[in-house]
């Protein structure tokens, strides 16, 4: 390309214009003074303004824009100023000079960009994996690393993502086989294959850009792609959507190149097959593949002849989708794949996050903002005609999207199509609409706020639509590169939020509250369990208790109650008021649940039954004995027993009280009643055996001790109780000494150790 710069001096002002031309193309004049140069800057400013407004929006459902909330103030300022600076119209001529250099090493620069992204993913990883439901995957990966027997079926994931599963399985086996001979140890958390997949994905992204024949466009396209779903490269969590993201990106690039006559259609078809293998949801792009293969057929040419025809075709696709939706009865089903139209009730709660619910529709809007706020806004700026916002932006481009068939001179342009609407643009529009239609009907189970990664390819599709206008006056190569830089700078806050554990935890906790009551309780529990584990990791037991309370409110499984009981033990001595408050809360809910079950004449429901309620109260009673909180818990337990009819817990407290006062005759029937319920615990069983032995039923007591030693032979407290029972009657003294020595070897608490050693000294 040859370029001249002309400067005109008039009235003391200099007017600068770049005149660029190459053989076979008309000369074009690009003036820095044209108002359309501000479209890119305005698009960036709109996105930043919306994000800043979102900071003041409180609890509104705006998670697609609210990416600055959990960052420090100075980061908010930096992440707002830098994109605006990069979008300044004054910088466009610098990008233009760069793009005009035909001998510039674009391939080398592309791979430098890939290397920078690779380094960023290594240095700034997302340490948590809230969005994944890959716990079973991690257990299998751990077994591989530990060289234990494992099953490959789950990792291969043949039901939905065989290629992604195959890559994970390969990395799970390959990485240990390389590290072990080198004397290296695997990370403590078995997420290494996902990290390896992220790094491999970054390299494949660089290769994917080579599907674009024009070298100078590769870097801008990569920047625009990273500026959408690029956060996937930083996530080390157990999911399988990065291969899909890359495969769809490659397919879209190859198809556009094929439609421009630059690549073979066969390459695009092959990459579509790869995308389907990466995840079956790529089948949603089947309409775009049909267009790619059959676009010359008269029926398809008619359906896509103009913007208006394409719009009517899209409306027909939506109508057909709804017709099939009702024919197959998805409007009121609990399908894991298709979202219902009406709320669906189940024992685990009511699914009110439905097809036309405000939650789902707003989440689709938020998803677009999260993945492609800038390219969408920029596309809108470019499509506004002269009668729009008076920004001087692309009336030609507006005509393209509106389906005008004549040029400015009234002549026809592309045969059978809208002016400027290339086959590649039609293909990208069909791809984007088909995938959006899939996301509209798909049941993501957890809501799009949590499952945004599933939809990440949608951002690439919007970017590809934007890129199809490259080379036009409104989207010159220099502006495409500038848009790529701005896009990356605008997505950096999203990266920063997710690589900061505290910020990502806070954001995820807020997202959980959006839909935990609109989903089945089991779906919400998976997210809250991730938050609970994070709280335990940070030793934030206050937060863990709050999370467990919310999990119990949503469903109320026995396991969550047991974890809450364990949580209360942390406060028994440090914060006795909190300890009692949590026990009172749990006993109150259990009592209400027991009353409800009895009123309905049932023993058990979906989440819990009367037997489990009685057992949980018994555990609370035993823990209060261990922590010397019997008197504090007794009033609460008495009220619970009266309301629920579950008396094991109160029997344990009363029996323990009589036992400690050596009223064995009163303690024995209470502890015997506990035994009859099937509740077993070393402390309660120890008191029961001791009561038998010391009250004259020595044979029964010895039999109880023999059974208990088989069960609790590694429990220091039980060994101590048996030994002291023998010593009180001066029987089995040598066995008692042996039991005390075993108890001491089990590292009991300091006070118990001192007591054991004192008795052993007396026995010398």
Q: What is the DSSP letter of 609?
A: B
Ranges 394-408, 464-478, 731-745, most confident: 731-745
Bigger pLDDT: 170 vs 639: 639
485, 490, 491, 484: which is closest to 224 by C-alpha?
Answer: 484
Distances (CA, A) of 441 to 326, 437, 447, 692: 12, 7, 12, 66
Q: How many CB atoms are located within 10 Å of the residue 509 CB? A: 18
pLDDT attached to residue 347: 83
pLDDT attached to residue 483: 94
Mean pLDDT of 88-116: 88
pLDDT attached to residue 469: 85
Cβ–Cβ < 8 Å for 502, 256: no
In the block, which residue shows the tokens 């002309």?
6
pLDDT attached to residue 499: 85
Is the sign of the CA dihedral 386, 391, 397, 401 positive or negative?
Answer: negative
Ordered DSSP codes for 659-678: HHTT-HHHHHHHHHHHHHTT
The answer to whether residue 416 scores a pLDDT higher than 80 is: no
225, 144, 619: which is closest to 461 by C-alpha?
Answer: 225
Mean pLDDT of 287-310: 93
| CA 510/CA 450 separation, integer angstroms | 11
pLDDT band at residue 446 using 50, 70 and 90 as cut-offs: confident
| CA 321/CA 752 separation, integer angstroms | 70
pLDDT attached to residue 126: 75
pLDDT band at residue 471 using 50, 70 and 90 as cut-offs: low
pLDDT band at residue 128 using 50, 70 and 90 as cut-offs: low
Helix ranges (H only) for 87-191 are 92-99, 106-123, 135-145, 153-156, 162-179
210, 225, 525, 216: which is closest to 372 by C-alpha?
Answer: 225
The answer to whether residue 586 scores a pLDDT higher than 90 is: yes
pLDDT attached to residue 238: 54
706, 650, 694, 642: which is closest to 673 by C-alpha?
Answer: 650
What element of type H or E holds 13? strand 13-21
pLDDT attached to residue 9: 36
The answer to whether residue 302 scores a pLDDT higher than 80 is: yes
Would you tell me the crossing angle of helices 162-179 and 192-209 to the nearest 10 degrees? 120
- Classified as helix, coil or strand, 468 is coil
| CA 538/CA 606 separation, integer angstroms | 32
Q: What is the DSSP letter of 442?
A: B
With residues binned 3-state (H G I as helix, E B as strand, rest as coil), the percentages for the chain, rounded to 5, are 70, 5, 30
pLDDT digits (tens, 9 = 90+) for 515-530: 999 988 888 898 898 8
207, 205, 198, 188: which is closest to 234 by C-alpha?
Answer: 198
Cβ–Cβ < 8 Å for 274, 245: no
Strand partners, 288: none
Q: What is the mean pLDDT of the chain?
A: 85
pLDDT attached to residue 237: 61
pLDDT attached to residue 1: 39
pLDDT attached to residue 453: 86
The answer to whether residue 493 scores a pLDDT higher than 70 is: yes
In the block, which residue shows the tokens 């009668």?
387
Tokens of 368: 């677009």
Bigger pLDDT: 438 vs 34: 438
pLDDT attached to residue 241: 87
Distances (CA, A) of 543 to 503, 525, 532: 15, 15, 8
Tokens of 462: 């919007």
pLDDT attached to residue 409: 35
| CA 288/CA 304 separation, integer angstroms | 12
| CA 518/CA 554 separation, integer angstroms | 10
pLDDT digits (tens, 9 = 90+) for 648-674: 999 999 999 999 999 999 999 999 999
pLDDT attached to residue 236: 64
Is the sign of the CA dihedral 283, 288, 292, 295 positive or negative?
Answer: positive
Q: Backbone phi, then psi, for 260, in 5-degree steps?
A: -90, 0
Mean pLDDT of 85-98: 87
Tokens of 186: 């695997």
The answer to whether residue 707 scores a pLDDT higher than 70 is: yes
Q: How many CB atoms are located within 10 Å of the residue 19 CB? A: 14
Bigger pLDDT: 448 vs 46: 46
pLDDT attached to residue 375: 95
The answer to whether residue 132 scores a pLDDT higher than 60 is: no
463, 392, 514: which is closest to 66 by C-alpha?
Answer: 514
Planar angle of CA 579, 581, 584, nearest 5 degrees = 110
- Residues with Cβ within 8 Å of 733's Cβ and at least 6 positions away in sequence, in order, are 726, 727, 763
Bigger pLDDT: 195 vs 554: 554
pLDDT attached to residue 528: 92
Cβ–Cβ < 8 Å for 487, 223: yes
Ranges 153-157, 235-239, 442-446, 518-522, most confident: 518-522
pLDDT attached to residue 410: 37
pLDDT digits (tens, 9 = 90+) for 426-439: 999 999 999 999 99
pLDDT digits (tens, 9 = 90+) for 164-219: 888 888 888 888 888 888 777 777 667 788 888 889 999 999 999 999 999 999 99
Planar angle of CA 508, 512, 516, nearest 5 degrees = 170
Mean pLDDT of 460-477: 85
pLDDT digits (tens, 9 = 90+) for 360-410: 999 999 999 999 999 999 998 888 744 333 333 344 445 555 444 433 333
């Amino acid at each position: 390309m040859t370029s001249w710069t002309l400067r005109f001096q008039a009235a003391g002002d200099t007017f600068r214009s770049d005149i660029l031309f190459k053989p076979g193309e008309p000369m074009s004049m690009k003036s820095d003074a044209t108002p359309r140069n501000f479209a890119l800057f305005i698009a960036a400013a709109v996105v930043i303004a919306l994000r800043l407004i979102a900071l003041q929006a409180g609890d509104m459902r705006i998670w697609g824009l609210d990416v600055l909330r959990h960052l420090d103030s100075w980061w908010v300022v930096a992440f707002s100023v830098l994109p605006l600076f990069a979008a300044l119209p004054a910088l466009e001529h610098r990008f233009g000079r760069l793009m005009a250099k035909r001998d510039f090493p674009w391939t080398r620069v592309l791979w430098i960009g890939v290397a920078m992204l690779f380094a960023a993913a290594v240095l700034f990883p997302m340490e948590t994996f809230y969005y994944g439901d890959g716990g079973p995957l991690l257990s299998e990966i751990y077994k591989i690393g530990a060289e234990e027997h494992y099953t490959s079926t789950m990792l291969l994931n043949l039901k939905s993502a065989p290629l992604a599963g195959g890559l994970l399985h390969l990395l799970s086996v390959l990485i240990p086989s390389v590290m072990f001979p080198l004397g290296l140890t695997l990370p403590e958390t078995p997420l290494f294959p996902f990290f390896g997949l992220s790094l491999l994905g970054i390299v494949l992204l660089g290769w994917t850009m080579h599907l674009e024949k024009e070298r100078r466009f590769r870097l801008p396209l990569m920047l625009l792609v990273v500026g959408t779903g690029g956060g996937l490269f930083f996530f080390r969590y157990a999911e399988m959507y990065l291969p899909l993201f890359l495969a769809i990106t490659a397919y879209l690039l190859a198809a556009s190149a094929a439609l421009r006559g630059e690549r073979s259609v066969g390459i695009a078809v092959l990459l579509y097959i790869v995308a389907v293998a990466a995840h079956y949801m790529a089948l949603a792009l089947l309409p775009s593949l049909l267009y790619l293969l059959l676009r010359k057929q008269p029926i398809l040419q008619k359906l896509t002849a103009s913007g208006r025809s394409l719009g009517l075709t899209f409306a027909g696709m939506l109508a057909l989708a709804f017709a099939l939706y009702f024919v197959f009865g998805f409007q009121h089903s609990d399908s894991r794949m298709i979202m219902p139209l009406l709320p669906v009730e189940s024992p685990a709660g009511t699914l009110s996050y439905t097809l036309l619910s405000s939650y789902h529709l707003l989440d689709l809007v938020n998803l677009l903002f999260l993945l492609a706020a800038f390219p969408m806004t920029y596309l809108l700026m470019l499509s506004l005609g002269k009668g729009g916002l008076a920004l001087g932006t692309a009336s030609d481009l507006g005509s393209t999207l509106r389906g005008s068939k004549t040029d400015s001179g009234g002549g026809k342009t592309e045969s059978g199509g809208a002016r400027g609407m290339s086959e590649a643009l039609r293909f990208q529009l069909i791809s984007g609409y088909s995938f959006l239609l899939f996301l509209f009907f798909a049941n993501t189970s957890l809501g799009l706020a949590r499952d945004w990664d599933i939809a990440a390819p949608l951002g690439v599709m919007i970017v590809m639509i934007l890129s199809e206008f490259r080379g036009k006056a409104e989207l010159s190569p220099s502006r495409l590169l500038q848009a790529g830089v701005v896009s990356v700078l605008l997505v950096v806050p999203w990266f920063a939020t997710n690589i900061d554990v505290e910020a990502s935890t806070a954001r995820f906790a807020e997202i959980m509250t959006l839909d935990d009551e609109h989903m089945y309780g089991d779906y919400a529990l998976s997210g809250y369990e991730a938050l609970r584990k994070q709280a335990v990791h940070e030793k934030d037991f206050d937060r863990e208790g709050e999370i467990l309370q919310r999990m119990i409110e949503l469903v109320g499984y026995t396991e969550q109650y047991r974890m809450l009981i364990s949580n209360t033990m942390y406060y028994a001595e440090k914060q006795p008021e909190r300890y009692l408050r949590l026990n009172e809360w749990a006993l109150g809910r259990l009592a209400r649940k027991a009353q409800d079950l009895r009123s309905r004449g049932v023993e058990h429901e979906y989440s819990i039954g009367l037997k489990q309620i009685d057992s949980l109260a018994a555990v609370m009673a035993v823990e209060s004995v261990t922590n010397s909180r019997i008197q504090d818990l007794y009033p609460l337990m008495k009220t619970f027993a009266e309301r629920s009819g579950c008396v094991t817990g109160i029997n344990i407290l009363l029996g323990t009280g009589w036992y400690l006062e050596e009223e064995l005759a009163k303690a024995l029937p209470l502890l015997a009643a506990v035994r009859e319920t099937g509740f077993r615990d070393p402390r309660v069983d120890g008191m029961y055996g001791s009561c038998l032995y010391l009250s004259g039923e020595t044979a029964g007591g010895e039999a109880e001790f023999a059974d208990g030693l088989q069960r609790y032979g590694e429990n220091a407290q039980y060994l101590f109780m048996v030994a002291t029972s023998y010593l009180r009657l001066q029987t089995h003294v040598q066995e008692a000494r042996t039991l005390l020595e075993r108890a001491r070897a089990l590292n009991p608490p300091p006070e118990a150790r001192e007591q054991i050693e004192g008795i052993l000294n007396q026995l010398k």
